[in-house]
Amino acid sequence: MSNNVIVHFNVKENKLPDFMEVMESVKNDLPKVEGCISVDIFRNVDNTNRFTLVETWDTVQQHQNNIRKLQEDGSWDFISGLLAKEPESAYFEQL
């Protein structure tokens, strides 16, 4: 059974172009990470600074390993600097 993580991002107004670049990279590169089955990225049509990622992973551990790598290499600090507040995320099972 696959594992889904849904993440909501609120981006700073002046950081939107930078965040859009990050999302393009995520769309292209994340599916190449071991254990990542897919990633879908959504932008709120009423609040264009709000994004939702739906990631599907083989295991929760593989997702957490990926997050740990982003923290260790400084990528997460860069992404965090683009955000108006901390992202909200949780794991979900598909019915």
Domain coordinates of the chain in residue numbers? 3-92
Q: Which amino acid is at 37?
A: I
- pTM of the full structure: 0.91
At 51-82, the pLDDT tens digits run: 999 999 999 999 999 999 999 999 999 999 99
CATH class of 3-92: alpha beta
Helices (H), 30-59: none
1-25: b (≥16 Cβ within 10 Å) or e: eebbbeeebbbeeebeeebeebbee
Q: pLDDT for 8-40, tens place per residue?
A: 999 999 999 999 999 999 999 999 999 999 999
